[in-house]
Structure 1
Amino acid sequence: MPMNDTALSFLKQLHPYDALPDRAFHALWNDVMFRTYPAGAKIYDLGEELDGLYVIESGQVTVRDENGHIISQLQRKNSFAERGLMKGGIAVTSAYAQDDCRLICIPPTLFHKLRADHEPFRRFFDRKHSTKAHDALGKFDLTRAHVATLMVADPVTCAPSMTIQAAAQKMRDERISCLCVVEKKKLVGILTVRDLSGKALAQGLAHDTPVREIMTPDPRVLSPSAIGSDVLHMMMEYRLGHLPIVEAGKLVGIVTQTDLTRFQASNTAGFVADAARAETTQDLAAVTERIPNLLVQLVAAGNRHDVVTRMITDIADVVTRRLLAQAEEKFGPAPARYVWLACGSQGRQEQTGVSDQDNCLILEDDIDERMLAYFEPFAQFVSDGLNACGYVYCPGNMMATNPRWRQPVSVWHDYFRHWIKSPGKEAQMLASVMFDLRPIGGDFSLFDGLQAKTLKAASANSIFTAHMATNALTHATPLGMLKGLATIRSGEHRNTVDMKLSGVVPVVDLGRMYALQGNLEPVNTRARLQAAIAGEVISKSGGRDLLDAYDLVAQTRLDHQARQIKRGKAPDNFLPPADLSDFERSHLRDAFVVIKTMQSALMQGRGVLG
């Protein structure tokens, strides 16, 4: 079935199809097929012969592995089934329509021809399935993980002279199943709950019996350089439930069977599956409270910052959609079409271990007061649920619970039209937030026209883009005198660098400006920078330098948060430069110099093309 003009335009603007020569793209005109599926319908099952590569024109698709676990939830512009096509044309997953879907299907022979003949097409799909992001969708390889990423650092200890009653009370209070027994900073034994029950209680020992009488002396240990397989083998061979980690004779950590279980459970597919099945807000909160541990494991596995933040954001998206479904179960089906959108870091798919909520609702036009009233408690329910799940209320009240951000689509058109026409300070601030909108649940078509029309109007208005550029330069990089890093001078975060406001946000602002200048659709910051380079909004050399600088700053921020979580602290964005080596500080400063250079180029209106 030949493509209609809408589908043709849609596909022609989508990478990697936009990189195909006209002749190659014209081949799609005759060979591509349309497929429509109602909500819940099977698209293909594991082991079936595939009809081709699927591209989602509208709707959402759920992909499951051989165990039925959700490994991805795809939406408009995403493609799927290519992995099966590259492995003999047989499906290696199953796919179902999450809601009503319209798909473009590229036959296998055409898919393989495009891969063989066109480097951008081949590079796109080969890279998509060679990244650590794809590997991380499955279970982490526990056998290759370093012990340092598995262990609990600074375990609770006791002296061998402590009474068994005091030891039992300490375990109870700390909610742990063992104590490491230390004398003169040296590990001399280990005491477990089993020792207390099997030796002390079973033998009727006095409460004041010293721990040394029932502990396991000189326990087996491993060093931090060991790997997960060493832990597994030693635990299985000697039937151990607890394994101390010792370095240079000093106790530095402990690995328990619980730690191994937690590590194996730390994969995004498991999170998505658990969230999708959650019946209550409490169930969802139980899922999201595991996210800090997930962040640590993803960083420890060597995943790049944009992979980690994308995976964490995917969980937030599923949680949001589940809350939307729960809201409709509670208040009844929505009386009008709506689309729930996220802005801020969730909108850009850049959530880390510290995230509040920024969201809004776009409703269909011709909605009456009764219909409008339905969405007030609806929005409150979802926002309250997000807050309970750790996505705290937006301090600026940029949420769908605010009537201003819960309006029909025509009002939203008016909002953006006014901001672009009269770019005052508030308009600049609001536009900065709203240009990062991304639909999460509901009818995405309500947003499509708004996004395209607004981008076109904004990019064409030089006065508006000039004001937005000024607003984008309000966040300075932390560069001090004498080639050093400028730290916060007073207050709670004294002697630290704010890696969000002074590090990541300046690049987020630059990426947004490039998107406005070039009428670019991506919302994710890294994708915006790549699109700006491809579209020659900025020079290749300047753009590549900025990409590298952003990667370093964002990765350093994420590494900092992972270290805090491992130490049992709540993650934040305030990095003490003293935590970094001289080498790391030097490269971080170089990254900030690149960012400042690109800010200066934006201010001069030349985008580093000169």
Structure 2
Amino acid sequence: MPLSPEQITRFLKSVHPYDALPVDVLETIASQVEAWEVERDFAVYDLGETLPGLFIIHEGQIEITDENGVVVSHLGLRNSFGERGLLRDGKAATSARADAHSVLLVLPPALFRELIAEHDVVAKFFNRARGPRPQQETLATSPVDTLMARDPATCSPDTSVQEAAQQMRARGISSLCITEGETLRGIVTVRDLSGKVVAEALPAATPISQVMTRSPLTLSPGAIGSDVLHAMMEHRIGHIPIAEGGRLVGIVTQTDLTRYQAVSSAELVSRIARADSAEEMAKVTAEIPRLLVQLVAGGNRHEVVTRLITDIADTTTRRLLALAEAKLGPPPVPYLWLACGSQGRQEQTGVSDQDNCLMLDDSVREGDMPYFAALAKFVSDGLDTCGYFYCPGDMMATNPRWCQPVSIWRDYFAGWIAKPNPEAQMLASVMFDLRPIGGALDLFADLQAETLKAASANSIFVAHMISNSLKHTPPLGLLRGFATIRSGEHRNTLDLKHNGVVPVVDLGRIYALQGQLPEAGTRARLKAAEAAGVLSPSGARDLLDAYDLIAETRLEHQVAMVKRGEKPDNYLAPTDLSDFERSHLRDAFVVVKTMQSAVGHGKGMLG
């Protein structure tokens, strides 16, 4: 089917990033583009071939397979493919075949590279990695929706001044917004009540509308911190309602500004370290969602954000251990509290359960075990109080199975390696992420080295672990490139934990096992695997880029939920993403699936 330059130009106007280019540039592209009309099963290109250019699907569907013949993606209208090879050495990194009669636009390699060099929007689109985060935001540059309190206290204009004062006292606040429906009519502060009501001896039944500040100064949600600071200083006020189209959506007070500056992981850690009870610590950990918002808004990379949030969990655990010893007395023998799962990898986000265990010195006696059972219960209950809910799989030190002498732990690992049944695979996967938190650290050092050495030397165990790691697959499908959850509470969403970060976490664990690498964090494992030669430089680069994109998308989803006043989770609706974001997230999932395929075929690395 012949396409005229006018038709190609019109089509490109509907495809990102070309829709952001000037018309004369689009016309230049259209004059150089070649249109291919291909039938079903036509081999567009094979792995390793020199690419004729960048492909854009004008009509039809294309199947992409990796070097092992495993299908990693089905692409449809407006999708691009071939860019990975062009951005490297010009050779195809995958194979592409037509799933149906298709029409493909082919941009010559020189034109593709010219567009990337001369147009930032094109360069950004074809760079899977997000690149550097924006410069870290300060109070002055932070968006107002990061600073403001949502759902501010309100009352109607006919509320009495006494009722208003009682409401402010009960809630421990210094202002009330006066609304009719959702429309803001005024604001009243403690200063108004003292200066206009008490000082003038007005009756308690006086309507609040008589003393409120009418049509107060407001800012929009799009304002930034400096707007708030300047307005407060210029107008000598301490409360600024945030309104959108006359509708009240929040309020910023001087207290909010002070709190924003005070909320940091170090400040939370300090408060937890001085706490005298789990309940006191819970008041601090309740601020973690706000810290998450602030850290992400501040331009911090995902591994920094999760590390800082995990540090709070570590401090909470160590403080609870200290409080337990103060209550129960000194431990009868040395012990070590360890975390596994996301805390073990230092990858906690805004939603985490607890996964932990206790290793005891081999001198422990049966009569000592009630002490450690009580210690485990005290700490685990305290963690639950602080928002780290009990592990659904009972992977906690309160389970006698996971509160044992080091010799028993050594037998556990030896047994799992010798007989890698499904339960052993699951347990080994969890336990390979162990990280000491508090107690006698030397109890674990030799055991970790011994286990890694024995596990990596057992090819059958490694094969079983690889098989187990491939059970979590990226959510690639036909519909817009994603396979969403089909039913239940989270229907039509992507699980960014189990089908997003977990497949990469599993790959990192396999590489660590193959290379006997002691690192626990996923990103650290991938970089160590590259340094050890377990993972090729190109494979490491691709997988790190993909992991960064998936992990940051997950964090940004949780931050958006916190901003809406919702409890953060891992379920993202693809419809919440732009075409740009969907395209890159799909590319990241394709990389992960390709790497899984390489590991599954015993290659362990991507060339």
Q: TM-score, structure 2 length as denominator? A: 0.73
Q: Which residue does 1:405 correspond to in 2?
A: 402
Q: Which residue does 1:387 correspond to in 2?
A: 384
User: What secondary structure does 1:143 align onto?
Assistant: coil
Q: How does 1:109-258 map to 2 (within 5 A)?
A: 141-153=138-150, 155-157=152-154, 160=157, 164=161, 176-182=173-179, 187-200=184-197, 203=200, 205=202, 209-247=206-244, 251-258=248-255
Shift of 1:197: 4.7
Which stretch shifts more, 294-303 or 600-609? 600-609
Tell me, yes or no, if the aligned pair for 2:534 and 2:605 is still in contact at 8 Å: no
Distance in 1 (alpha carbons) for counterparts of 2:300 and 2:548: 12
Distance in 1 (alpha carbons) for counterparts of 2:318 and 2:602: 41
Shift of 1:572: 1.1
Tell me, yes or no, if the aligned pair for 1:152 and 1:566 is still in contact at 8 Å: no
Q: How does 1:163-562 map to 2 (within 5 A)?
A: 164=161, 176-182=173-179, 187-200=184-197, 203=200, 205=202, 209-247=206-244, 251-562=248-559
Distance in 2 (alpha carbons) for counterparts of 1:387 and 1:152: 26
Q: Which residue does 1:590 correspond to in 2?
A: 587
Shift of 1:487: 1.8
**What RMSD over aligned residues (CA atoms) do the two structures have, in Å?**
2.6
Distance in 1 (alpha carbons) for counterparts of 2:165 and 2:476: 52
Q: Which residue does 2:31 correspond to in 1?
A: none
Tell me, yes or no, if the aligned pair for 1:161 and 1:210 is still in contact at 8 Å: yes
Shift of 1:480: 1.9
Instruction: Deviation per CA, 1:34-56: give whole Å up to 9, x if none.
Output: xxxxxxxxxxxxxxxxxxxxxxx
User: What secondary structure does 1:299 align onto?
Assistant: helix
Instruction: Deviation per CA, 1:254-278: give whole Å up to 9, x if none.
Output: 2112211221121111111111111
Structure 2 counterpart of 1:430, one-letter code: L
Shift of 1:347: 0.3
Distance in 2 (alpha carbons) for counterparts of 1:443 and 1:600: 41
Distance in 2 (alpha carbons) for counterparts of 1:601 and 1:522: 22
Distance in 2 (alpha carbons) for counterparts of 1:568 and 1:223: 18
Which stretch shifts more, 533-542 or 520-529? 533-542
Distance in 1 (alpha carbons) for counterparts of 2:582 and 2:170: 41
Distance in 1 (alpha carbons) for counterparts of 2:379 and 2:180: 53
How many residues of Structure 1 are paired with residues of Structure 2 in the alignment? 476
Structure 2 counterpart of 1:516, one-letter code: L
Structure 2 counterpart of 1:579, one-letter code: D
User: What secondary structure does 2:488 align onto?
Assistant: coil
Instruction: Deviation per CA, 1:580-601: give whole Å up to 9, x if none.
Output: 2221122111111111111111
Tell me, yes or no, if the aligned pair for 2:272 and 2:315 is still in contact at 8 Å: yes
Tell me, yes or no, if the aligned pair for 1:343 and 1:434 is still in contact at 8 Å: yes
Shift of 1:199: 3.0
Q: Which runs of 5+ in 1 are unaligned?
A: 1-130
Cα gap change, 1:360/1:465 in structure 2, threshold over 3 Å: closer, same or farther? same
Q: Which runs of 5+ in 2 are unaligned?
A: 1-131
Q: Which residue does 1:567 correspond to in 2?
A: 564
Which stretch shifts more, 494-503 or 218-227? 218-227
Q: Which residue does 1:16 correspond to in 2?
A: none
Q: Which has the larger radius of gyration?
A: 2
Distance in 2 (alpha carbons) for counterparts of 1:400 and 1:427: 18
Tell me, yes or no, if the aligned pair for 2:143 and 2:224 is still in contact at 8 Å: yes
Tell me, yes or no, if the aligned pair for 2:485 and 2:492 is still in contact at 8 Å: yes
Cα gap change, 1:168/1:590 in structure 2, threshold over 3 Å: closer, same or farther? farther
User: What secondary structure does 1:592 align onto?
Assistant: helix
Task: Identify which of structures 1 and 2 has the higher relative contact order when contacts are C-alpha pairs closer than 8 Å and 6+ apart.
Answer: 2
Cα gap change, 1:170/1:279 in structure 2, threshold over 3 Å: closer, same or farther? closer
Cα gap change, 1:374/1:161 in structure 2, threshold over 3 Å: closer, same or farther? closer
Cα gap change, 1:279/1:207 in structure 2, threshold over 3 Å: closer, same or farther? closer
Distance in 1 (alpha carbons) for counterparts of 2:220 and 2:376: 51
Shift of 1:196: 4.0
Structure 1 counterpart of 2:283, one-letter code: A
Instruction: Deviation per CA, 1:346-383: give whole Å up to 9, x if none.
Output: 00000111111111111111322222332111111111
User: What secondary structure does 1:560 align onto?
Assistant: helix
Distance in 1 (alpha carbons) for counterparts of 2:491 and 2:420: 35
Distance in 1 (alpha carbons) for counterparts of 2:323 and 2:479: 56
Q: TM-score, structure 1 length as denominator? A: 0.73
Which stretch shifts more, 367-376 or 319-328? 367-376
User: What secondary structure does 1:439 align onto?
Assistant: strand
Instruction: Deviation per CA, 1:85-116: give whole Å up to 9, x if none.
Output: xxxxxxxxxxxxxxxxxxxxxxxxxxxxxxxx
Residue identity over aligned pairs, in percent, reads 66
Distance in 2 (alpha carbons) for counterparts of 1:184 and 1:406: 57
Distance in 1 (alpha carbons) for counterparts of 2:156 and 2:428: 61
Structure 1 counterpart of 2:370, one-letter code: A
Shift of 1:282: 2.1
Which stretch shifts more, 390-399 or 256-265? 256-265
Structure 2 counterpart of 1:431, one-letter code: A
Distance in 1 (alpha carbons) for counterparts of 2:287 and 2:578: 30
Q: Which residue does 2:117 correspond to in 1?
A: none
Shift of 1:459: 0.9
